[in-house]
């Protein structure tokens, strides 16, 4: 069975501790689970079926891990409309 990914010992331990914390966003948990499965030797198709994502998504996770390391687990800022209300204004609206 071909391994699609070789995790370093430090990365494996970090992923295991992140997954055990139980406080990860779903996207990050799926990415971490996918990396662990690929390192075990599961195929791209099997990991995609397990996590209900496409093969291309799993392949992109693998490629991003190879390029960026575990930093890719976190979402990058997305473009969008800037926030118009500051924290104090939000608190006032909530109080109303």
Give the other-Cβ count within 10 Å of 31's Cβ: 26
| pLDDT at residue 96, as a whole number | 84
Q: How far apart are CA 35 and CA 71, in angstroms?
A: 13
Q: Is the pLDDT of residue 1 over 60?
A: no
pTM over the 0.85 mark: no
Q: Write the pLDDT tens digit of every residue in 19-65.
A: 898 888 999 999 999 999 999 989 999 999 999 999 999 999 999 99
Domain assignments of the chain as residue spans, ordered by start: 9-73
Nearest Cα residue to 72 out of 32, 21, 23:
32
Beta strands (DSSP E) in 16-79 are: none
CA pair distance 59, 92, nearest whole angstrom? 46
**Whole-number mean pLDDT of the chain?**
89
**Residues 70-75: what's their mean pLDDT?**
88
R_g over Cα of the chain: 18
């Amino acid at each position: 069975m071909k391994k699609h990914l070789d995790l370093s010992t430090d990365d494996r331990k970090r992923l295991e501790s992140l997954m055990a914390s139980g406080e990860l966003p779903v996207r990050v948990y799926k990415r971490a689970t996918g990396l662990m499965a690929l390192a075990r030797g599961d195929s791209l198709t099997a990991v995609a079926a397990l996590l209900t994502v496409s093969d291309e998504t799993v392949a992109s996770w693998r490629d991003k891990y190879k390029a960026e390391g575990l930093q890719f687990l976190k979402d990058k800022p997305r473009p969008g409309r800037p926030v118009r209300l500051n924290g104090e204004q939000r608190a006032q609206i909530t109080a109303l």
